[in-house]
Amino acid sequence: MNPLFRSPYLCLLFWLLSLTLCFGGATFLSTAQEGPNMGASYQQQAIAISKELRCPMATNQTLFESQAPIAHELKGQIFSLLEQGYKRDEVLDFMVQRYGEKIRYQPEFKPSTMALWLGPLVLLVAGLGLGLTLIKRKSASPDKATRTV
């Protein structure tokens, strides 16, 4: 017999430690396998939301693209809100209430944002109209080369 186990207390301690490691390891493995799946889901949702929001510090960058300190804080806050049970729309509404409509990378279509959505279309149509008008004028006026023949 091993001299370490001559004492009944050491033998009992050894068996308790063995049982604790066995059951504790099984519990740890089951928890470790569940955790990343839930975290990955929240992480994917947080990434999708951060691609829809504008960084307050960086010019023309989403939260996902920005490396500004405020962007890191806001991404963490998005992840925290998702863990608390907020849905995508609730997180977006929370951010808009806190930072204003400017936080959205693509603002909603409202009367106050109509110029943002329709402005480029109006400029495109005006530019095409001006170009066609100039082309018609040039083709309608007789060339000097054809008159002097």
Q: Which pLDDT does position 28 carry in this prediction?
A: 63
Cα 56 to Cα 94: distance, rounded to the nearest angstrom: 15
Q: Which pLDDT does position 36 carry in this prediction?
A: 47
Mean pLDDT computed over 132-140:
87
Mean pLDDT computed over 135-144:
77
* Alpha-helix residue ranges (DSSP H) falling in the chain: 8-50, 69-83, 88-99, 114-140, 144-147
Mean pLDDT computed over 111-128:
85
CA 34 to each of CA 13, 22, 26, 142: distance values in angstroms, whole numbers, following the listed order: 31, 19, 13, 80
Contact 66, 24 (CB under 8 A): no
Cα 54 to Cα 77: distance, rounded to the nearest angstrom: 14
Contact 52, 101 (CB under 8 A): no
- In this predicted structure, the answer to whether residue 37 has a pLDDT above a threshold of 50 is no
Cα 115 to Cα 85: distance, rounded to the nearest angstrom: 35
A 10 A CB-CB count for 20 gives: 10
Cα 96 to Cα 82: distance, rounded to the nearest angstrom: 16
pLDDT tens for residues 53-71? 998 887 888 888 888 899 8
- In this predicted structure, the answer to whether residue 26 has a pLDDT above a threshold of 50 is yes
Q: Which pLDDT does position 18 carry in this prediction?
A: 82
Q: Which pLDDT does position 4 carry in this prediction?
A: 56
pTM: 0.53
- In this predicted structure, the answer to whether residue 35 has a pLDDT above a threshold of 50 is no
